[in-house]
A = this chain, B = another copy of it.
Amino acid sequence: MLKGIDPLLSADLLHLLASMGHGDDLAIVDGNHPAATVAAATSSQTLIRLPGVPMERIVRAVLSVFPVDSFVDDPIRAMAVVGDPDAVPEVQEKVQTVIDEILDESIPVEKLERFAFYAAAKSSFGVIQVGDARPYGCFLFRKGVVPA
């Protein structure tokens, strides 16, 4: 435990987040995601598992210290519903609410087709997997910069 740091941000998770640089993506995925397979392909080959933690809760903890990239139009992406790409599943709606609450600017969550998401997640820096079973709880957050 550290002063002023969300207790969900364990030593290993802080290490992962602090190791990332500008333009690196962080994958945060639900309990059904093939997270171990995906994580093995990432830059850090790191998978941090947080069973029992709801998706909104880990997103809140991560965004408390993680700067979101302002250099691109789609710094936050989620897996699109198969066959209904415009649908907004409940878990994505809840995460959007957390994003709107924590970040200074409104950043809409963009959609990525299922297999495009897997490919993008494999190109990410590392993976956090929560135990949340709600479908389509799969996100990519691109790291930005902390101003001087």
Q: What is the distance, in angstroms, from A30's C-beta to the closest C-beta of chain B?
A: 24
Chain B residue numbers with a CB within 8 Å of A17 are 2, 11
Residue of B nearest to A22 (CB): B1
Interface check A145, CB cutoff 8 A: yes
- Contact between chains at B18 and A11 (CB < 8 Å): yes
How would residues 57 to 74 of chain A score, 1 for a CB under 8 Å from any chain B CB and 0 otherwise?
000000011110000000
Interface check A14, CB cutoff 8 A: yes
- Contact between chains at A9 and B1 (CB < 8 Å): no
Q: What is the distance, in angstroms, from A68's C-beta to the closest C-beta of chain B?
A: 10
- Contact between chains at A11 and B2 (CB < 8 Å): no
Which residue in B1, B2, B18, B65 is a CB contact (below 8 Å) of A10? B18
Measured in the bound complex, the distance between the Cα atoms of B7 and A5 in whole Å is: 15
Q: What is the distance, in angstroms, from A65's C-beta to the closest C-beta of chain B?
A: 4
Measured in the bound complex, the distance between the Cα atoms of B17 and A29 in whole Å is: 27
Among A15, A19, A65, the one with the most B-chain Cβ atoms within 10 Å of its Cβ is: A15
Measured in the bound complex, the distance between the Cα atoms of B12 and A107 in whole Å is: 31
